[in-house]
């Protein structure tokens, strides 16, 4: 009942008394909201239980989880834990983006000249504090 009062404050249904009466009719059914709404619609009962149908549609459109943001936060936590002592605040957001968007990075990395293009971008940048050396080593034939 407390949840209904909170819902009433947040969303304005046209007739709360009607919703209470209709809710009593379907309250005993413990089916998930999707199945319950489908049953109402299939049997034409969504017209009879109009307010319950509205409520079920609302329930089905509301976001239930924050799993995506929770995964992002756990990824960020892993990165921070792994590199806590060596990472500056400038690098943290960039590494976080790479970790969260790893599927995009994998697609880019599979392109033929990706590594060469990345090297060219860094080579054309102004001099940084640390000189990066790139050396391609060739394997010697053991003949």
Helices assigned H by DSSP within the chain: 2-10, 16-26, 33-42, 50-61, 67-83, 91-100, 102-109, 114-123
Q: Range of 37's domain?
A: 2-61
Whether residue 113 contacts residue 128, with contact meaning beta carbons closer than 8 Å, is answered with no
Considering the domain boundaries, does residue 73 fall inside one?
yes
Sign (positive or negative) of CA dihedral 40, 44, 46, 50: negative
Over residues 35-47, the pLDDT tens digits come to: 888 888 888 887 7
54 and 78, same domain (yes or no): no
Among 10, 28, 61, residue at a domain's last position: 61
Question: What's the DSSP call for residue 50?
Answer: H
Domains in the chain: how many in total?
2
What pLDDT is attached to residue 81?
Answer: 73
Specify if 42 maps to a domain: yes
Q: Say if 139 falls within a structural domain.
A: no
Q: Which comes out higher in pLDDT, residue 12 or 142?
A: 12
- Which pLDDT does position 1 carry in this prediction? 59
Q: Note the pLDDT tens digit of each residue in 94-129.
A: 777 777 788 887 888 787 788 888 888 877 877 655
State whether 44 and 90 are in the same domain: no
Tell me what the mean pLDDT of segment 19-30 comes to: 70
């Amino acid at each position: 009942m407390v949840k209904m009062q909170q819902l009433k404050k947040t969303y304005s249904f046209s007739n709360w008394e009607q919703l209470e009466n209709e809710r009593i009719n379907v309250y005993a059914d413990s089916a998930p909201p999707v199945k319950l709404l489908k049953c109402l619609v299939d049997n034409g009962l969504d017209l009879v239980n109009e307010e319950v149908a509205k409520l079920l549609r609302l329930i089905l459109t509301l976001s239930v989880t924050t799993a995506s943001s929770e995964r992002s936060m756990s990824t960020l936590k892993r990165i921070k834990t792994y590199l806590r002592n060596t990472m500056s605040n400038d690098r943290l957001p960039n590494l976080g983006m790479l970790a969260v968007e790893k599927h995009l990075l994998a697609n880019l990395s599979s392109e033929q000249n990706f590594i060469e293009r990345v090297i060219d971008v860094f080579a054309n940048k102004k001099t940084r504090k640390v000189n990066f050396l790139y050396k391609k080593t060739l394997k010697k034939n053991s003949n």
